[in-house]
């Protein structure tokens, strides 16, 4: 850490240049002794990236920011706050602490928290910021979390880990290819805690993750504004029952969830025999789609599916507890009828339809519109249709 960056004049400069061209700042002569232009550019860029993702940090004075990559890789506040509810007991250790966002929110729920971070610079930054945020119940260890767990005689109620995918690996994402290796160290971790929470990117296949891990009691699929952000694997020592899947959507202070046990994921579903104008179209949130329980979505909310391979549903009433978008159908067109239309407007959505959105926009000269939608899809009889619709619920 370069403590000179915390001087009042420097902080004023950073705040005054949040919308400036950081490339010019990085190339220009530094206005402060003992501080490089690159350091100033890093602080400005990282703080700007925190404005929406980490508003508490952004609005707190004298926060010290790490390299931009750490901001990009860290949890958002909204997801960190959610996962803090999964902690059990009075003691928790975060063995991959990083910038400390998750640790900070765990500390709001747990009496004693330890933050382990192998990078000493990042550990020092997280420790300094914790003081700035008045988080007094966090102990910081600038060392490898797995090594600390192995060498300490202390046990913890909860262990949290966010393993990083090793860059040299290809597209196949497996936990054993991450650092630290949770699969290889799982038995050792279970000797020190009765609950382990593992965060992974949503890219990880759920069945593949369950094949690598054991004693998984719950899998939380977390999305924000219809974008799947992370998977949380809750491992409870001795658990040998059916794993529960919770698909949760976090949007504008509103939380909705769709949960089920893995053994009943492949239920039956009713298909819509026809579509009607003024009925409603339901598009499940990304978290629900990641769960893979496509038929169960229909039976849970009492809505009919359009086609076996079309993850869209319909009903003649609105169900505002549904986690996803809801549209009101205003017209149902065939491809031939669409060709006769002029002055088409709407956001284009393609679901199980033999064309790409950008090609359809170009072909039919469709102008963008914020509230109107053109949904290209397939219905139960195999017919391709286009639905003109207006949106009545975003999340």
CA atoms within 13 A on the CB side of 32: 23
Question: Which pLDDT band holds residue 168 (cuts at 50, 70, 90)?
Answer: low
User: How do residues 11-49 score in pLDDT, each as one tens digit?
Assistant: 999 999 999 999 999 999 999 999 999 999 999 999 999
The CATH superfamily label for domain 3-69 reads Methyltransferase PG1098, N-terminal domain (1.10.10.1110)
Question: Which pLDDT band holds residue 174 (cuts at 50, 70, 90)?
Answer: confident
Question: Closest Cα partner for 70 from 100, 107, 40?
Answer: 100
pLDDT at position 169 is 53
Residue pair 245/291 in contact (Cβ under 8 Å)? The answer is yes
Listed in order, the ranges of the chain carrying CATH 3.40.50.150 are: 74-241
Mean pLDDT of 355-383: 94
Residue pair 44/20 in contact (Cβ under 8 Å)? The answer is yes
Question: Which pLDDT band holds residue 171 (cuts at 50, 70, 90)?
Answer: low
- 74-241, CATH topology level: Rossmann fold (3.40.50)
User: How do residues 301-355 score in pLDDT, each as one tens digit?
Assistant: 999 999 999 999 999 999 999 999 999 999 999 999 999 988 899 999 999 999 9
pLDDT at position 176 is 84
pLDDT score of 135 more than 80: yes
pLDDT at position 140 is 98
Mean pLDDT of 375-390: 95
pLDDT score of 222 more than 90: yes
Q: Which of 51-55, 187-191, 252-256, 353-357 has the lowest mean pLDDT?
A: 252-256
CA distances from residue 389 to 81, 281, 325, 333, 345 in whole angstroms, order as listed? 35, 8, 12, 11, 11
pLDDT at position 42 is 96
User: How do residues 103-129 score in pLDDT, each as one tens digit?
Assistant: 999 999 999 999 999 999 999 999 999
Full-model pTM: 0.93
Question: What is the token pair recorded at 267?
Answer: 């239920």
pLDDT at position 72 is 92
pLDDT at position 348 is 96
Q: Is the peptide bond before 180 cis (omega within 30 degrees of 0)?
A: yes
pLDDT at position 267 is 82
Question: Which pLDDT band holds residue 136 (cuts at 50, 70, 90)?
Answer: very high
pLDDT score of 203 more than 60: yes
User: How do residues 276-295 score in pLDDT, each as one tens digit?
Assistant: 999 999 999 999 999 999 99
pLDDT at position 170 is 55
pLDDT at position 266 is 86
User: How do residues 249-275 score in pLDDT, each as one tens digit?
Assistant: 999 889 999 999 999 998 888 999 889
Listed in order, the ranges of the chain carrying CATH 1.10.10.1110 are: 3-69
């Amino acid at each position: 850490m370069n403590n000179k960056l915390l001087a009042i004049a420097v902080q004023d400069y950073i705040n005054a240049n949040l919308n400036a061209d950081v490339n010019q700042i990085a190339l220009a002569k530094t206005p402060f002794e003992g501080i490089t232009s690159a350091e100033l550019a890093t602080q400005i860029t990282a703080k700007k990236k925190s404005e929406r993702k980490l508003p508490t940090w952004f609005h707190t004075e004298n926060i010290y920011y790490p390299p931009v990559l750490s901001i990009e890789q860290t949890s958002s506040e909204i997801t960190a706050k959610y996962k803090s509810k999964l902690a059990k007991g009075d003691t928790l250790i975060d063995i991959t602490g990083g910038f400390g966002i998750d640790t900070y929110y765990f500390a709001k729920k747990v009496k004693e928290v330890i933050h382990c971070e192998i990078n000493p610079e990042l550990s020092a930054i997280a420790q300094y910021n914790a003081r700035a945020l008045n988080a007094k119940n966090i102990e910081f260890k600038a060392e490898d979390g797995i090594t600390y767990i192995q060498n300490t005689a202390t046990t913890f109620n909860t262990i949290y880990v966010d393993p990083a995918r090793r860059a040299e690996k290809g597209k196949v994402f497996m936990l054993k290819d991450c650092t630290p290796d949770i699969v290889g160290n799982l038995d050792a971790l279970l000797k020190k805690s009765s609950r382990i929470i593992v965060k992974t990117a949503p890219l990880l296949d759920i069945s593949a993750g369950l094949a690598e891990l054991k004693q998984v009691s719950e899998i939380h699929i977390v999305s924000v504004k219809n974008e799947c952000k992370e998977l949380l694997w809750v491992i409870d020592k001795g658990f040998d029952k059916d794993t529960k899947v919770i698909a949760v959507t976090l949007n504008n202070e509103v939380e909705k969830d769709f949960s089920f046990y893995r053994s009943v994921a492949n239920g039956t579903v009713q298909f819509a025999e026809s579509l009607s104008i003024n009925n409603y179209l339901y598009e499940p949130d990304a978290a629900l789609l990641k769960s893979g329980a496509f038929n169960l979505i229909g039976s849970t909310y009492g809505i009919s599916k359009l086609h076996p391979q079309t993850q869209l549903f319909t009903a003649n009433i609105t169900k505002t507890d549904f986690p996803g978008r809801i549209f009101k159908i205003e017209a149902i067109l065939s491809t031939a009828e669409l060709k006769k239309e002029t002055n088409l407007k709407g956001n284009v959505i393609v679901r199980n339809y033999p064309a790409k959105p950008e090609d359809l926009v170009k072909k039919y000269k469709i102008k963008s519109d914020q509230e109107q939608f053109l949904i290209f899809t397939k219905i139960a009889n195999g017919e391709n249709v286009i639905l003109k619709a207006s949106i009545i619920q975003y999340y």
